[in-house]
């Protein structure tokens, strides 16, 4: 393991944060339990004072086939997973196109699009050197209860990559803002949409400093330039407060705030 200085303003998708020291984990290292793991930082909002951080190094960015299984290292970026699946005619990963992140981040968030979620297709994950079957992991909408850092993820290989499905899902992204964001800020409450609620309380397009609830998709908190953690947090708290007041709904953040 080694320490690397990472500029979170560059690394994070929402372009907020400082330069921080991050402990880089290499293959074979014992993973500390007193540090917070970040990956692609596509779902993170980091304050100027984050907890001690760690990240899996490039050692964990691999894909290999063993018997009928595909084994993917947790640091593998989603874009490269989709390219591999296309090249080797493997089904199931089409929805990962344009879903920014890494294999590990997808598992931890049970990331997905519409009815497609990573837990639908994965077989097992490796934590602390042990393979755990998906059936033994509590998971749900944008959530998985993981007891440790996931280093490897295993999938049963099913043949038949669908370019049509990929194109269809990519089209859904046309209503996504182009400015830096961390994806959906809130989970959709049961039977409703967070974006609809944010709009209904008058916050669509609402701006604080350089952060705003997007004009294009109200559940995206966008950075219009030099947005800060404080501005982002202000807008998140404001939306929660207003939605609670008007609809008696407690919205839950999808973004992880550190
Ligand atoms: C423009 C945009 C569009 C998006 N669209 C979608 C979408 O359609 N659907 C969707 O579900 N999400 C979406 N997101 C959110 C994001 O893409 C996903 O949550 C993604 O899975 C995050 O991966 P990451 O590697 O960046 O994880 P990070 O953001 O770095 O981390 C997220 C969480 O995962 C944990 N984690 C990461 N790796 C591991 C590991 N190996 N073991 C254990 N825990 C780990 C971290 O501790 C953290 O709690 C979008 C984001 C953006 C910016």
Which residues have CB under 8 Å from 248's CB, separation 6+?
Answer: none
CA angle, residues 42, 39, 192, in degrees to nearest 5? 40
Alpha carbon nearest to ligand 1 atom 8, residue: 113
- Provide the token pair at 103: 């294999």
How many Å apart are CA 211 and CA 91, to the nearest integer? 38
R_g of the chain, CA atoms, integer Å:
19
pLDDT of residue 109: 97
pLDDT of residue 80: 98
3-class secondary structure for the chain?
CEEEEEEHHHHCCCCCCCEEEEEEECCCCCCCCCCEECCCCCCEECCCCCCCEEEECHHHCCEEEECCEEEEECCCEHHHHHHHHHHCCECCCHHHCCCCCEHHHHHHHCCEECCEEHHHHEEEEEECCEEEEHHHCCEECCEECCCCCEEEEEEECCECCCHHHHHHHHHHHHHCCCCCCCCECECCCCCCCHHHHHHHCCCCCCEECCEEECCCCCCEEEECCCCCHHHHHHHHHHHHHHHHHHHCCCCCECCEEC
**Which atom from ligand 1 is nearest to the alpha carbon of 142?**
11
Active site residues: 142, 184, 254
Residue recorded with tokens 């050692």? 59
- Ligand 1 is surrounded, with C-beta below 6 A, by 13, 37-44, 74, 99-102, 104-106, 108-109, 111-113, 142, 146, 149-150, 176, 181-183, 256
Alpha carbon nearest to ligand 1 atom 43, residue: 149
- Provide the token pair at 111: 């990331």
The gap between the terminal CA atoms of the chain, to the nearest Å, is 23
Per-residue tens of pLDDT for the chain, all 258 residues: 999 999 999 999 999 999 999 999 999 999 999 999 999 999 999 998 899 999 999 999 999 999 999 999 999 999 999 999 999 999 999 999 999 999 999 999 999 999 999 999 999 999 999 999 999 999 999 999 999 999 999 999 999 999 999 999 888 888 789 999 999 999 999 999 999 999 999 999 999 999 999 999 999 999 999 999 999 999 999 999 999 999 999 999 999 999
Alpha carbon nearest to ligand 1 atom 40, residue: 104
78-98: burial string, b at 16+ Cβ within 10 Å, e else: bebbbebbbeeebebbbbbbe
- Provide the token pair at 87: 């090249």
- Provide the token pair at 43: 């779902």
Q: How close is the Cα of 76 to the center of ligand 1, in Å?
A: 12
pLDDT of residue 172: 84
């Amino acid at each position: 393991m080694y320490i690397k200085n990472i500029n979170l303003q560059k690394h994070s998708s929402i372009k907020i944060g400082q330069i921080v020291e991050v402990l880089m984990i290499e293959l074979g290292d014992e993973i500390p339990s007193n540090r917070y793991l970040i990956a692609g930082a596509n779902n993170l909002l980091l304050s100027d004072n984050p907890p001690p951080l760690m990240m899996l190094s490039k050692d964990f960015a691999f894909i290999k086939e063993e018997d009928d299984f595909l084994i993917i290292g947790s640091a593998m970026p989603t874009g490269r997973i989709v390219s591999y699946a296309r090249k080797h005619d493997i089904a199931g990963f089409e929805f990962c196109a344009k879903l920014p992140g890494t294999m590990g981040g997808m598992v931890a968030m049970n990331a997905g699009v519409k009815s497609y979620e990573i837990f639908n297709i994965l077989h097992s994950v490796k934590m602390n050197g042990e393979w755990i079957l998906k059936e033994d992991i509590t998971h749900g909408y944008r959530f998985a209860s993981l007891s440790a850092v996931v280093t490897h993820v295993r999938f049963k290989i099913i043949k038949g990559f669908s370019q049509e499905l990929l194109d269809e899902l990519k089209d859904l992204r046309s209503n996504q803002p182009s400015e830096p964001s961390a994806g959906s800020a809130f989970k959709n409450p049961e039977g409703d949409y967070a974006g609809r609620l944010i709009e209904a309380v008058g916050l669509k397009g609402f701006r604080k400093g350089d952060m705003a609830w997007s004009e294009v998709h109200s559940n995206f908190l966008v950075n219009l330039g030099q947005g800060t953690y404080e501005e982002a947090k202000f807008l998140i708290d404001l939306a929660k407060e207003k939605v609670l007041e008007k609809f008696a709904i407690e919205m839950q953040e999808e973004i992880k705030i550190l």
